[in-house]
Amino acid sequence: MSTKIFVPCDTTALAMGADEVAARIEATASARGAEIELVRNGSRGLFWLEPMVEVETPAGRIAFGPVEEDDVEALFDAGLLDGETGHPLCQGLTEEIPFLKKQQRLTFARAGITDPLSIDDYRAHDGFKGLENALKLDAQAIVDEVKASGLRGRGGAAFPTGIKWQTVLDAPAEQKYIVCNADEGDSGTFADRLVMECDPYMLIEGMTIAGLAVGATQGYIYLRSEYPVAHRIFDEAIARAEAAGYLGDDILGSGKRFDLEVRLGAGAYICGEETSLLESLEGKRGLVRAKPPLPAIVGLFGKPTVVNNVLSLAAVPFILDKGGQAYADYGMGRSRGTLPMQLAGNVKRGGLIELAFGASLRELMEDFGGGTFSDRPLRAVQVGGPLGAYLPESQWDLPLDYESFAAVGAVLGHGGVVMFDDTVDMAEQARFSMEFCTVESCGKCTPCRIGSTRGVEVIDRIRAGENREANLELLTDLCETMLDGSLCAMGGMTPFPVQSAMKHFSDDFKR
Amino acid sequence: MSGFSEWTPQLIQDEIDALKHKPGALLPILHAIQNRFGYIPSEAVAIIAESLQQTRAEVHGVISFYHHFRTSAPGSHTVQICRAEACQSMGARSLEAHAKEKLGVDYHQTTSDREITLEAVYCLGNCSCAPSVRIGDRIHGRVTPEKFDKLVDTLTTRALEVK
């Protein structure tokens, strides 16, 4: 009887050598005359264990990691195929690994369990049930279900998804669009990538439901060019979904139409901003548009458009399958459901952590993360990407929810958490924030375009000890100008990391 | 090794014609041209402008807006080093310095043997196993200076056939 072995195929597993490990496993099995069935599954998001090899046993899947190519022979010797757990790389039953067991996975329930491209696997794990339900409902009933879930946009702005959909549904037009923002540019984030690489049909299903809800027949996924693996897997998933009748002009025999196409970005961070993204999709420079009009009224090619983040759309199949209330039962206050957090940077156990809103940052970094990779004291943590504040230890007990973070001038953003040890120079980090803005500003508004350039210069003077007090005051003033005067979040939030570094790590500006 | 073709006006026109029916076709066209020829030749601007009924200024403006598009031929391999925060926290700044010294070039430059073009990138989504480097479509994690040297040496070492 053949034994099922799983070797993940997501970007991180591949970056750590998963293809080489898979090849060695096949070669070793063949040399030893052992019958195996090798499955390239998605990743569970336990990245410090990648490549994480799993073996199916009667008791459940057993994990080994991180496996290097040269460990394979020894793993076979130690009884890999017989479910033996004696090898030092053995992590026991995958589902019992505390990092995974303590999570509340709704959106990522299938990630790493299934073969991402297998429609049969997807269906066997509740896939397309939400779509089947949606096909029985009228448009308003679908929108009402999403409203009842309390889902708020997971891209960072946290706007209620149901209200956005209602606006597009109510806008009369011949043509409407669903646009998925997969321009996941924030450092420390990879949840969108994981959805597209590990469970692509979930996003296809979510977008199709969105199309049915608002009366849109065309969807675009705007994917960043820095994600070649996601691009390859997702394109293949669209082709297979079309062939199986889940996309196209007659979805599951309903007579309803929905088509999907991936459009590749071209290395511009600003195109994660929704109006810039729409310009880019139209084939233009990614210049930010002034709002209003909202994209929900005048969006892509001037038509009413839903622009949602990958995670928002990926939450929709669960909501239409289990009901809006089942989703709203998770969370706290006005932050309902779960938030996939991403633990990254200088961390011992990094990866994807999906939890109901309300856990603390400290739990995440210590209980899940196990502290820093370097074993040095943790000093600062940036939450919410390059436009998010740096938080000092006094703020690590904040609950992870949109309002608690906003109250201290921080943002949860897309859920990225980047940890830094005590070797970090926070004045250098502040300088980088301004530098990043000079590189990535679309240039349309002056506070962002010129302000960031002046910001780099002023921080350089401060770090060189030139008129330090006066320049610190100037920097404070410049930050306020950018904050109040910029057209979008690029210039308007670049001051967050700078101000937080100045406020909580002021010593670093005086060395 | 790089696998890029030599461009001709006709081949560029072919790429445009295959995509110009799409709404908002300019970015897909630019990607197609760069994927095939390694860069977007300046002569392509007028051909694209004509085909899409846009001005050359508009086309040039789009090409220059996006970091991904290049207007000169790259080396046989493009090596991108992630400069973003998660990688910084794991030593990306010293990796960048090491890479520039090892290759003898700065960002956006190509080694004198035309083998390697060095580029900066802001996040490859491999943030839990930083620092990250991309070579072609392959991403590598936990890249130490030693690992970087090994990766680069594999690229530039040609196997000699012993007879």
**B154: helix, coil or strand?**
helix
pLDDT at B36 over 60: yes
- Residues in chain B closer than 8 A to A429 (CB atoms): 85, 88
Q: Give the torsion sign (CA, A270, A488, A149, A412).
A: positive
Domain span at residue A90? 3-101
Confidence (pLDDT) at A156: 86
* Token reading at B112: 């004198």
pLDDT tens, position by position, A267-288: 999 999 999 999 999 999 999 9
Strands (E), A321-456: 331-332, 335-336, 338-345, 351-356, 378-383, 390-391, 416-421
Q: Which of A359, A394, A421 is the last residue of a domain?
A: A421
Confidence (pLDDT) at A465: 97
Pair (A353, A273) in one structural domain: no
Q: Using the beta-carbon criterion (under 8 Å), do B89 and A424 form an inter-chain contact?
A: yes
Give residues with Cβ within 8 angstroms of B9, minimum separation 6: B43, B47
Does B24 touch chain A if contact means CB atoms closer than 8 Å? yes
- DSSP bridge partners of A57: A60
Does B69 touch chain A if contact means CB atoms closer than 8 Å? yes
Of residues B27, B58, B128, nearest to A347 (C-beta)? B128
Confidence (pLDDT) at B3: 80
The upper half-sphere exposure of residue B32, i.e. CA atoms within 13 Å in the direction of its Cβ, equals 18
Examine residue A119 and state whether it is found in any structural domain, yes or no: no
pLDDT at A187 over 50: yes
Pair (A83, A133) in one structural domain: no
Domain with residue A402: its CATH number is 3.10.20.600
Domain with residue A183: its CATH number is 3.40.50.11540
Q: Using the beta-carbon criterion (under 8 Å), do B125 and A184 form an inter-chain contact?
A: yes
Cα A466 → chain centroid? 41
Q: Using the beta-carbon criterion (under 8 Å), do B90 and A268 form an inter-chain contact?
A: no
Q: Which residue has the tokens 């889902």?
A: A151
Of residues B87, B90, B122, nearest to A185 (C-beta)? B122
pLDDT tens, position by position, A457-485: 999 999 999 999 999 999 999 999 999 99
What average pLDDT does chain A have?
A: 97
Examine residue A110 and state whether it is found in any structural domain, yes or no: no
Pair (A312, A277) in one structural domain: yes
Q: Which of A142-146, A409-413, A414-418, B45-49 has the lowest mean pLDDT?
A: A409-413
How near does any CA of chain A get to the CA of B21, in Å?
13
pLDDT tens, position by position, A34-62: 999 999 999 999 999 999 999 999 999 99
Confidence (pLDDT) at A332: 86
Give the burial class of A57: count Cβ atoms within 10 A of its Cβ; 0-12 exposed, 13-18 middle, 19 or more buried.
middle
Pair (A260, A165) in one structural domain: yes
Does B124 touch chain A if contact means CB atoms closer than 8 Å? yes
Confidence (pLDDT) at B160: 59
Pair (A303, A257) in one structural domain: yes
Pair (A241, A312) in one structural domain: yes
Domain count, chain A: 4
Q: Which of A282, A303, A328 is the last residue of a domain?
A: A328
Confidence (pLDDT) at B156: 81
Q: How confident is the model at residue B158 (pLDDT cuts 50, 70, 90)?
A: low
Domain with residue A72: its CATH number is 3.40.30.10
Does B62 touch chain A if contact means CB atoms closer than 8 Å? yes
Confidence (pLDDT) at A511: 82
> Chain A to chain B, count of Cβ pairs less than 8 Å apart?
151
Examine residue A24 and state whether it is found in any structural domain, yes or no: yes
Residue A507 burial (CB count, 10 A): 9
CA distance A172 to B111: 56
pLDDT at B157 over 70: no
Does B30 touch chain A if contact means CB atoms closer than 8 Å? yes
How near does any CA of chain B get to the CA of A474, in Å?
25
Laid out side by side, the sheet with B116-121 consists of B109-110, B116-121, B77-82, B133-135, B138-140
Pair (A274, A378) in one structural domain: no
Share of chain A above pLDDT 70, in %: 100
**A90: helix, coil or strand?**
strand
Q: Give the torsion sign (CA, A262, A263, A268, A272).
A: negative
The upper half-sphere exposure of residue B150, i.e. CA atoms within 13 Å in the direction of its Cβ, equals 6
Pair (A323, A351) in one structural domain: no
CA distance A464 to A122: 57
pLDDT tens, position by position, B53-69: 999 999 999 999 999 99
Q: Using the beta-carbon criterion (under 8 Å), do A344 and B139 form an inter-chain contact?
A: no
**A183: helix, coil or strand?**
coil
Pair (A280, A175) in one structural domain: yes
Examine residue A474 and state whether it is found in any structural domain, yes or no: yes
Gyration radius (Cα) of chain A, Å: 24
What average pLDDT does chain B have?
A: 95
Pair (A313, A335) in one structural domain: no
- DSSP bridge partners of B133: B81, B140
Pair (A268, A346) in one structural domain: no
How near does any CA of chain A get to the CA of B114, in Å?
23
Gyration radius (Cα) of chain B, Å: 18
Q: What is the mean pLDDT of residues A256-261?
A: 98
How near does any CA of chain B get to the CA of A344, in Å?
4
Q: How confident is the model at residue B159 (pLDDT cuts 50, 70, 90)?
A: low
Pair (A188, A67) in one structural domain: no
Q: How confident is the model at residue A256 (pLDDT cuts 50, 70, 90)?
A: very high
* Token reading at A6: 């799983």
Report DSSP letters for A133-152, one per residue.
HHHHS-HHHHHHHHHHHT-B
Q: How confident is the model at residue B1 (pLDDT cuts 50, 70, 90)?
A: very low
Confidence (pLDDT) at B20: 97
| Angle in degrees, CA A147, A152, A156, rounded to 5 | 160
Q: Which of A368, A391, A421 is the last residue of a domain?
A: A421
User: What's A270's DSSP letter?
Assistant: G
Q: What is the mean pLDDT of residues A205-220?
A: 98
Of residues A16, A345, A436, nearest to B89 (C-beta)? A345
How near does any CA of chain B get to the CA of A285, in Å?
5
Choose, out of A11, A183, A187, A437, the residue to mutate when testing the contact with B (most B CBs < 10 Å): A187
